[in-house]
Structures are given as structure tokens and as C-alpha cells.
Amino acid sequence: MTKGNLAIVLHAHLPYVRSEEPGSLEEDWFFQALVECYLPLLETLENSASAKDQAPKVTIGLSPTLLSLLEDQVLKNRFEKWVTIRIEVLNNLEKDSIKAVQHLKENFKRQLESWKNCQGDLIGRFKKLQISEVIDILTCAATHGYLPLLRENPEAVRAQLKTAVTEHKRLFTSSPLGIWLPECAYYEGLDELMAESGLRYAVLDGHGLLNADPRPRYGLYAPICTRKGVAFFGRDSESTLPVWSARDGYPGNPNYREFHRDLGWDLSIESLKKIGINEKRPLGIKLFKISSKNTSLENKQEYEPNAAKEIVEKDAENYLKERKKQLIKLGESMQIEPLLIAPFDAELFGHWWFEGPQFLKHLFIKSKGEGIKLITLKEALQLTPKIQLCNPSPSSWGQGGFHNYWLNKSNSWIVHEWSKAGREMVSVCSEGLIKESNIKIIKQAGRELLLCQSSDWSFILKAGTTTELARERINLHLKRFWMLINAIKDNKIINDTSFEEIEKEDCIFPLISPIDWKKKI
């Protein structure tokens, strides 16, 4: 007997880190995510879908910037060499960590074979899973712009949404109905722009629903709907914390693979230069286990794949048993089947938590036996005949629950730049300044504006990690934007070579439309 429903929602996203020059740090981010997360995730979903007595169901958001990287042929052409170099490094290791080395080498080889078998067409594989109703694919804002901080120019928010919808339709042939709002961030009136873009549902953090007006009858355990016809689901912290927390959750188990101890930090500069890397940085080669919370990185013990394999199955069993208890208790006071929403960054599964894809595999195998039905957000709406009308509360899933992480002394200067550039873009697109000869220029200006609005760079500035890179990215896109806009306003001629170089580097959103920034009359 079914105790209730569980919706696992994954948000797969990377900022636009394309580079014409091979071997960049940003390129490493993408390739590591490919080999540790996206390829293993596809492998898990496809194998579970083809197995008997399994019904894998996942809602997954694929951001437009990530999709552009997955589609990019230049990056595709470099990936095989990137993986091959790491296999060669493992072959040349003279260490006692035989099990860990062999396990990682086999993993690299398996993912490379998976890549070759589909000729790098991961988008096509996601599409097949959607057609077979294993996954429900959501879009995201075009460049993961933090929408509450763009609201001064509503057209800027609309352009983030409509560009995303257009890009999704281009790649998947159908328009998305759901969206992963960047950082689950919501403000009053956003539902109107979502509805205008054809978007009908999204996930918010729990307080976005619990503080809604009126307070939802079933709290977080059923969707709500606004008068604009947009439904919202609320994150359930009980369902997410055991998986999300490295300190208190499953990923912190001493037998799991250590994320921070990477061979790239251990090798000498001379050894790194032999493989074409001129600085100390992660290689995606991790051979140690967490060991214990008190163990320093230098003293980590060798990773033991078989021990981790046993633990991850037990953790999946424990997770489902706890959700079963939760659903039984909720069912006693609800007149409809309770729904648990468990949203996560997709990169948690495989990248941050190496055993994450195996955890999902065991959920797919064991959920039915615990009386838990895995369900997508789209299916959940179809099974909910009556949805309470409520106005969600402004919120995000960031630190503090609102906008603090993206609006503070480290990054607040960007908001003024966004507003100023946004106003100019709206003005140019609304006042008949676009001549036929300038269409290509204004489209590229739109790309640069969207790219500078990425919330990833604000996040990095606050986190204090690769801050120089974040500033460079923001300022580069702003510089290009103003050069292009001023050329249109002042009827200047742009050097063809310079423009072609910009187009080549920032070749994203081929169907971008200046009309999306036009003011409504």
C-alpha cells in the first residue's frame, strides 16, 4: 500500500565557462562535472529504467548555460583527451593505493566509453528519458540570473525567462512547463512573468510556502497555486537534510570518498607541467576516504570502494524508512496523499558526493517495497485535482532564506551595473533604435547582458573562492555590452574582426530575441 509520494528534484547547472583556449580552470569544472555527475547520472537513470520492478522518476532542471556547454562541439572535441590524460596519470602512479587507483581508472574508462557510445550527445539521452517519462525536464533562467535583484527592470526578468524557454524548445522540440528558479528565489509578481512565458510550476524553499497568504492548509506537503495559474512546491527539510548535509548527513560517512583531497594538490609543479597544467589545481583524481571528521587532509586513509558500496545501500534503506515514517504520520492528518519535495543541486550526486548516483540507484530499487511512490512534479500536479490558491512569500534557499548571499558588501556593486545596463537594453529595444543592419549587434549585446547577470559570479564573490575570475567575467561581459550598445546609439562602425571574436567566444542562445526586452505599451 502506498504511504505517499516523494519527488526528487535535481538542479543541473554550470555557468557559461566556455573558453577558446584549452586547459582552463573553467573547462576543468565542466569536464569534472561530466565525468563525475552528468554521465553517471544518465547511466543510473538508464540502467534503472531498463531493469524490471524499478520505476525511476526524477524531476531535473537543465540550465540553458549547461545545455550550451553540452552542445558545444569545441568542448566535446577536447573531453576525450582530458579523460585520457587522467587515466595515464593513474597508470603512472607508484602508490600502495591499488584498489582506489584501479577503481577510479575503471570509472574514468566506463564514463569515457559511455561518452563515445552516444558521441557526446548527452542532450539526446536526456531527451529520450523525458520521452519515456523517466524524467521531467525543467528549464532555468537563461544564465541563472538572480531574479529578485533584476526586478527593477521587469523586462530584464522577462528576457531571462523567455530566452530560457526559447532555448529549451530549440533543443527539446517542446516548451518547458516547469522551471527551477535560480536559488529558488521568488518575489511578488514573478508568477505573472512566469505565466507570460508559459511556465506553470516551480520549487521554493519551505518558508516560501509556509509564509504564503493565506497559509496553505497542508503546509509543505501539497502544491499551491497563484491566481496567475502558476503552481509552487515547497522544499521539505526533513527529506533533504540527511542527503544535503556533509556534517550531519550521509555524505559525511568516514567510508565515503574525500572530496577535497585531490591528486592535483599533491603532485609537484614539474609533474603537472608534464600533463600540460602550469599551476596547482584539482585534477578530479581523488584516492582517499573521509576517514574521520578530525583527520587532516594530509592523513586521509585510502578509499575502499567495496566498503563504500555497502554503506551507500544501507543509507538509501535508512532514508526510505525515515520517509515512510514521515508519510505515515502526515497521512493521519491529511485528506489527500502527502507529497514530499526533496530538491538538490544535481552536482551533489557524484561530484561532491561520489557515491550519490549509487544512492539514487538504491532508492529506485527499494522505494516500492517501502510503499513510497517516486513521482515527478508534473505528475504530482496531474494527481492533485484541487490546489489551494495562495500568494507565495518572497524567499530563497540561500543563507538566511532571502537575498543576503547575493546582496552584501562583497557583491552589491553588481546590482547597480545590472540595473544601468538593463535600462539601456530596454530603451534601445523599445524606442525603435534597432536598424536592420544592427540586429546582429543588439542580439550580441543581449547575450553579454544575460551573461553578466549570472548569479554564479555573485556567489563566488561572497564565497571568496575564485574571486578574480568572477570579477573578470562580470567586467568582460559588461565591457562588451557597453561597446555594442554605444556603437548602436552613436552609429559607430564596429571592427568586423573584433565583433567576430566576441561572437565566437560568447556563442550562446542562437535564437535570442531583442523583442523580449521591449517595454509593453
Q: Are residues 322 and 453 in the same domain?
A: no
CATH number at residue 491: 1.20.1430.10
- Inform me whether the pLDDT recorded for 179 exceeds 60: yes
What is the per-residue pLDDT for 1?
A: 59
Q: Which three cell numbers stand for residue 80?
A: 576525450
Q: Are residues 334 and 462 in the same domain?
A: no
DSSP 248-260: TSGGG-TTSBPSS
- Per DSSP, the three-state class of 72 is coil
- Per DSSP, the three-state class of 52 is coil
Q: Are residues 298 and 434 in the same domain?
A: no
What is the per-residue pLDDT for 93?
A: 84
What is the per-residue pLDDT for 451?
A: 98
Q: Are residues 323 and 467 in the same domain?
A: no
CATH number at residue 369: 3.20.110.10
DSSP-derived letter for residue 493 is P
Q: Are residues 433 and 368 in the same domain?
A: no
What is the per-residue pLDDT for 215?
A: 96
Residue 398 lies in a domain: no
Number of domains observed in the structure of the chain: 2
Give the pLDDT mean for 106-122: 97
With a CB cutoff of 8 Å and minimum separation 6, the contacts of 512 are: 163, 166, 443, 446, 447
Residue 216 lies in a domain: yes
135's enclosing H/E stretch is strand 135-140
Task: Indicate the residue among 389, 422, 438 that finishes a domain.
Answer: 389
What is the per-residue pLDDT for 278?
A: 84
Residue 257 lies in a domain: yes
φ and ψ at residue 97, rounded to 5 degrees: -80, 60
What is the per-residue pLDDT for 213?
A: 97
> From CA 206, how far away is CA 76, in angstroms rounded?
38
- Inform me whether the pLDDT recorded for 435 exceeds 90: no
DSSP bridge partners of 231: 201, 225
Q: Are residues 255 and 348 in the same domain?
A: yes
Give the pLDDT mean for 386-401: 93
Residue 399 lies in a domain: no
Task: Indicate the residue among 389, 424, 441 that finishes a domain.
Answer: 389
Q: Are residues 384 and 429 in the same domain?
A: no
Domain that holds residue 304: 4-389
What is the per-residue pLDDT for 427?
A: 93
Residue 401 lies in a domain: no
Residue 403 lies in a domain: no
Are 144 and 65 contacting, i.e. CB atoms less than 8 angstroms apart? yes
What is the per-residue pLDDT for 433?
A: 55
pLDDT in tens, 257-292: 999 999 999 998 988 888 888 888 899 999 999 998
What is the per-residue pLDDT for 275?
A: 85
What is the per-residue pLDDT for 434?
A: 66
Task: Indicate the residue among 389, 424, 442 that finishes a domain.
Answer: 389
What's the angle, vertex CA 375, arms to CA 203 and CA 34, rounded to 5? Answer: 70
3-state secondary structure 1-25: CCCEEEEEEEEECCCCCCCCCCCCH
Residue 62 lies in a domain: yes
pLDDT in tens, 32-51: 999 999 999 999 999 999 98
Q: Are residues 240 and 363 in the same domain?
A: yes
Percent of the chain with pLDDT over 90: 81
With a CB cutoff of 8 Å and minimum separation 6, the contacts of 172 are: 123, 127, 130, 137
What is the per-residue pLDDT for 26?
A: 87
Q: Are residues 51 and 180 in the same domain?
A: yes
**Is residue 94 very low, low, confident or very high in pLDDT (cuts 50, 70, 90)?**
low
DSSP-derived letter for residue 405 is G
Q: Are residues 338 and 419 in the same domain?
A: no
Q: Are residues 144 and 281 in the same domain?
A: yes
- Inform me whether the pLDDT recorded for 238 exceeds 80: yes
What is the per-residue pLDDT for 245?
A: 86
Residue 200 lies in a domain: yes
Q: Are residues 124 and 216 in the same domain?
A: yes
What is the per-residue pLDDT for 97?
A: 62
Strands 388-389 and 224-225: parallel
The mean pLDDT value of the chain amounts to 94
